Amino acid sequence: MTEEEHQRRPETPSDRIRKAFEVEFERFSDSPGSLPEGEKELRELQELRIKFLGKKSELAAQKKMIGSVDPKRRRDFALIFQNLEQDITRRIDEKELRLRTFVLRVRTERESIDVTMPGRRPRPGHLHPITLMRERIEDIFVSLGYAVEDDREIETDFYNFDALNIPEGHPARDPQDTFYTTDGFALRSQTSTVQIHAMQRRGAPIRMIAPGRVFRRDTPDPTHNPMFFQVEGLCVDRGITMAHLKGTLAELVHRLFGPETRTRFRPSYFPFTEPSAEVDYSCFNCGGKGCRICKGSGWIELGGSGMVHPNVLRAANVNPEEFTGFAFGLGIDRTCARIYQLDDIRLLFENDVRFLEQFR
Ligand SMILES: [Zn+2]
């Protein structure tokens, strides 16, 4: 068919369908400008497929007419519409594949992690000031060859009082001062109880510290709390003297507050030591001149100490004729409050994050 003949040939239904399809198909692009555009084109392509290939399409209507076509022309007629259907199907399929690939690629890119974006910073936790203080003290004693012991917080009268040479009728046994359970157990009022457990378990010689919680029936105020933390220290061996006690505590305050820190021992009385002494150290802030932290005295109280009473050694099955030892106890939270200049020791137990965050 020449061009002239073609132009003269009347438009067939097949030509009409093809032309209509070309007009509508033209607006579909190979690379849409955005994900929403791509998704919109995909939806419209499905509508186009139904319009030109669906049951109600003109193509379907033409194919139904094949029975009424002259049998001689029937084969050509069928072939024309078969080719047309294949053409339209192939072109829609190709376009759909391109659009789907585009949409999938853009979606994947959007959902993948942008490594250049600043991350959300996790809020790191940190140790409680009492724990920091306890660990500093533990490190010092471990380096001096001491073991760190832990033990129960609920005790029998034997461990809390009898074994520590605290006689019946002593004020410390008064229910006004000590918490008792309904069946007669006591919440330990000092970490000295661990001395007895440790000596019973391991015998002498022994060097140990026992940091832990203790309980006393105090009304909470800026310098008291019914639950607080102590570190107990015990050194028992042949030939241990008061000089070893002084040297050990001097070493402790040197490492905690600096080598220029001095110690002072004041005679005192505790049932479980003889002789007994209160220990002070020269103020880390003013060096002994007097300031607000040391209340003008130049000295800060560290705790109690002394030579282990022979009755305590006996209670733990250690022979006082062969062994002697020293013991000491100091308040972790009290020392902590001094160092950080806290006006109220209760701040350490309230777990207010605004307060604790300062120790990061
Ligand atoms: Zn001072």
Higher pLDDT, 231 or 217: 231
3-state secondary structure of 321: coil
Q: What is the pLDDT of residues 333-343, one digit of tens each?
A: 988 888 888 88
Least confident of 111-120, 129-138, 237-246: 111-120
Q: From ligand 1's centre to the CA of 360, what distance in Å?
A: 26
Are 232 and 327 in contact, with CB atoms under 8 Å apart? yes
Q: From ligand 1's centre to the CA of 258, what distance in Å?
A: 14
Q: What is the pLDDT of residues 6-58, one digit of tens each?
A: 566 778 888 999 999 999 998 887 778 888 888 999 999 999 999 999 989 99
Q: What is the pLDDT of residues 346-358, one digit of tens each?
A: 899 888 888 888 8
CA 354/CA 284 separation, integer angstroms: 26
- Can you tell me the mean pLDDT for 252-260? 94
3-state secondary structure of 265: strand
What's residue 107's pLDDT? 85
What's residue 142's pLDDT? 96
Highest mean predicted confidence (pLDDT) among 1-10, 61-70, 137-146: 137-146
Q: From ligand 1's centre to the CA of 341, what distance in Å?
A: 11
Q: From ligand 1's centre to the CA of 158, what distance in Å?
A: 41
Q: From ligand 1's centre to the CA of 300, what distance in Å?
A: 8
- Can you tell me the mean pLDDT for 309-337? 95
CA 41/CA 131 separation, integer angstroms: 64
Tell me the pLDDT band of 3, cut-offs 50, 70 and 90: low
Put simply, whether the predicted model's pTM sits higher than 0.85 gets the answer no
Least confident of 1-15, 246-260, 330-344: 1-15
Q: From ligand 1's centre to the CA of 342, what distance in Å?
A: 14
Q: From ligand 1's centre to the CA of 282, what distance in Å?
A: 8
What's residue 7's pLDDT? 60
Q: From ligand 1's centre to the CA of 351, what distance in Å?
A: 28
CA 172/CA 212 separation, integer angstroms: 19
Q: From ligand 1's centre to the CA of 334, what distance in Å?
A: 15
Q: From ligand 1's centre to the CA of 189, what distance in Å?
A: 30
CA 354/CA 238 separation, integer angstroms: 50
Tell me the pLDDT band of 218, cut-offs 50, 70 and 90: confident
What's residue 10's pLDDT? 77
- When computed from its CA atoms, the radius of gyration of the chain, rounded to whole angstroms, is 46
What's residue 1's pLDDT? 53
Q: From ligand 1's centre to the CA of 356, what distance in Å?
A: 25
